[in-house]
Amino acid sequence: MSLTSEGEMLVGIDIGTSKIVVIVAEANVDNSIQILGIGSHPSKGLRNGVVVDIESTTMAIKKSIQEAESMAGCHITSAYVGISGSHIRGLNSEGVVKIKEGEVKYSDVDSVIETAQAMAIPADQKLLHVLPRDYIIDKQDGIKEPLGMAGARLEAKVHLVTCSENSSQNIYKCVKACGLNVEGFVLEQLASSYSVLTQDERDLGVCLIDIGGGTTDIAAFTEGAISYTDVIPIAGDHVTHDVAEALRTPRTQAEEIKRRYGCAVSSLTKSEEVMMVPGMGGRPERELSRQSLSDVLERRYVEIFSIVQQKLNLSGFDQLTPAGLVLTGGASRIEGAVELAEEVFHMPVRIGSPTLFEGFSEILSNPIYATSVGLVLYGHKQLREDHLNYINRDKNIFSRVSRWFGGNL
């Protein structure tokens, strides 16, 4: 692939618990992104972000690819693929090296990053990302680009992300079975951050909460860099399950009811508001107040937000995000989500929809597409960065995925 050449093709595949989304984009000569095609298909082969049925997942990916190819009028050969799940682990690390020639060279940066990532990782985990946060030269911190600076001692603070080798290998098999090469696996909340966060929010300190179908993904940014990541295996599908049980209605109907009538704060609904609930097994439909539905939803959303708050408190990042929270993902679209989050976290909250692209904006300017749009923006950033500024680039360990798997697939 040529870097930032006009007509450069970029493809992102969001392999979610509830749906597969494929987006085909083109890098314009002015470095903007033009969306050419979208493909989407329900996902039945994943649970909490992890593949549990390879055949079903492969089929859903194939159908999404075919739809995107048909719309874009092109043939897809490779893609950036999102990855999530409770197997994801994030931790911060530091490395220190002596600056060899009194001035920071590429080799010094490489060495300090290698030192920072030299941590004991469980045998069933593999490095997914090594994300530089900050550099320190002779106790002078806050340095983002150390190249060319004079000094004797170089330190690096990095955020490491690991994932399950087996989980990533299963996703790789599914994508490979569709005839595609994997350009890189990308942490889903990292991808989403590219499409929904502003640079001002990153610099001030912000927490991104991506509530999908099977997982709620957390990412905290401080001083412009990602500093904390975590995944909670509770999300939109669990809300739907709660509705199905409480209303004694099929899951498909529960999902529709949740979308049409759902509200995460029962006090925002009126007791006279009613809806009709389909019965099961041929039973007649019955009338139910919207407030009763909201009571069910509020309990689950309070649980999700409370777990996120607990994790942020334990990590210490609850005091480092003055820009507040950004909610994104399909399950964030429910009425009252912002109000409830503000009540739980006591900080400003907004819904994050994808930006920084052209084409299909009426469809894609929706939190449900945050990860898929973010994947092509991430890929564009990776292609644009040349050797001069690569120190701020995510050194994606999966940039050569086939080599990582040893060519055994």
- Residue 286 to residue 47: CA distance in whole angstroms: 31
Q: What percent of the chain has pLDDT over 90?
A: 78
Task: Give the lowest-confidence range in 33-42, 268-277, 292-301, 338-347.
Answer: 268-277
DSSP 349-370: EEE----S-BS-HHHHSSGGGH
Q: Averaged over 177-195, what is the pLDDT?
A: 96
What per-residue confidence (pLDDT) applies to 382? Answer: 87
What per-residue confidence (pLDDT) applies to 387? Answer: 35
Whether 188 and 167 have beta carbons less than 8 Å apart is answered as no
What per-residue confidence (pLDDT) applies to 24? Answer: 97
Q: Structure pTM?
A: 0.90
pLDDT, tens digit (0-9, with 9 covering 90-100), for 103-150:
999 899 999 999 999 888 888 999 999 999 999 999 999 999 999 999
pLDDT, tens digit (0-9, with 9 covering 90-100), for 249-286:
889 899 999 999 999 999 999 888 888 888 777 777 88
Burial of 68-104, coded b for 16+ CB within 10 Å and e otherwise, reads: bbebbeeebebbbbbbbbbbbbbeebebebebeeeeb
- Residue 216 to residue 48: CA distance in whole angstroms: 9
Domain 89-163 adopts which CATH fold?
Answer: Dna Ligase; domain 1 (3.30.1490)
Q: Which amino acid is at 138?
A: D
If DSSP codes are grouped into helix, strand and coil, which group holds residue 34? strand
Q: Averaged over 6-20, what is the pLDDT?
A: 89
CA distances from 289 to 51, 267, 296 (A): 37, 13, 12
Which strand ranges, in their side-by-side order, compose the sheet holding 225-232?
A: 225-232, 216-222, 206-211, 325-328, 349-351
Enter the tokens of residue 323.
């820009």
pLDDT, tens digit (0-9, with 9 covering 90-100), for 42-56:
998 999 889 999 999
Q: Averaged over 284-297, what is the pLDDT?
A: 90
The stretches of 41-164 forming alpha helices (DSSP H) are: 54-72, 106-116
pLDDT, tens digit (0-9, with 9 covering 90-100), for 375-409:
999 999 988 774 345 444 555 555 555 555 655 45
Average predicted confidence (pLDDT) for the chain: 90
Residue 209 has pLDDT above 70, yes or no: yes
Q: Averaged over 337-354, what is the pLDDT?
A: 97
pLDDT, tens digit (0-9, with 9 covering 90-100), for 167-180:
999 999 999 999 99
Instruction: Report the interhelical angle of 290-315 vs 251-261 (nearest 10°).
Output: 90
What per-residue confidence (pLDDT) applies to 234? Answer: 95
What per-residue confidence (pLDDT) applies to 5? Answer: 45
Query: Measured on CA atoms in the order 386, 389, 395, 396, is the torsion positive or negative?
Result: negative
What per-residue confidence (pLDDT) applies to 2? Answer: 35
pLDDT range class, residue 1, cuts 50, 70, 90: very low
Domain ranges of the chain: 89-163
Residue 369 has pLDDT above 70, yes or no: yes
What per-residue confidence (pLDDT) applies to 330? Answer: 94
CA distances from 107 to 146, 147, 256, 309, 339 (A): 12, 10, 56, 40, 49
